Amino acid sequence: MPKVPKPLSEMTLEELWELFPIILKEHNPAYSEWYLEEQLKLQACLHSEDIVRMNHIGSTAVKNLIAKPTVDILLEVHEGCSILNLKHTLANNGWILMSEHTEPALNLVFNKGYTPNGFADKVFHLHVRNIGDWDELYFRDYLMVHPDIAAEYGELKLHLLGKYEHDRDGYTAAKSNFVQKYSKLAKERFTDRYKL
């Protein structure tokens, strides 16, 4: 009789990292279609008055950049948005809350496409924040217009893969100096592009 996998909620962090390792793949042009499909689903299930802005962020938003095959979405909501209702609605539409912080600013991260048997065919991370001048938007834009820096970022990720394949936090931390450096340059170049 085949062994029934444990629910994700009962797995340790180590078990989750083993089941969901860092995987890097060449850019898939379909990522933008995945984003648009999911954007429509989110707009259909959430209150339109809560949504300020939605963007495809992360490496899958940058043409030709090697990336984890996970589409990252930044959903910015109004200050008065009921976070309790939003979490309930997202849970009822297949999103799993991964982390929740309210200080220094609202930052909820949900996922879709994580199963007890590993990754589904399409995987998403949804980052919910109040409207802001977020570095992720600037970093993405900078990589889009600087393919040489995007290629350097891809090389860094490949270099880190061997050490951090089963340590997502370590992988993210090891990229942080690079990301911060170019986010700062991007904010200087694209001054106030995302301020409302």
pLDDT tens, 18-38?
Answer: 999 999 999 999 999 999 999
Query: Is residue 2 domain-resident?
Result: no
Please, which pLDDT band fits residue 74 given cuts at 50, 70 and 90? Answer: very high
Q: What is the rounded CA–CA span in Å between residue 99 and residue 124?
A: 14
In a domain, 184, yes or no: yes
**What is the CA angle 85-88-90, rounded to 5?**
110
Query: Would you state the pLDDT for residue 87?
Result: 96
Domain that holds residue 183: 8-189
Query: pLDDT digit string (tens) for 104-156?
Result: 889 999 999 999 999 999 999 999 999 999 999 999 999 999 999 999 999 99
Number of domains in the chain: 1
Tell me the CA distances in angstroms from 125 to 35, 55, 95, 99, 154, one per residue in order: 11, 12, 9, 11, 20
In a domain, 158, yes or no: yes
Check pLDDT > 70 for residue 81.
yes
pTM, whole model, 2 decimals? 0.95
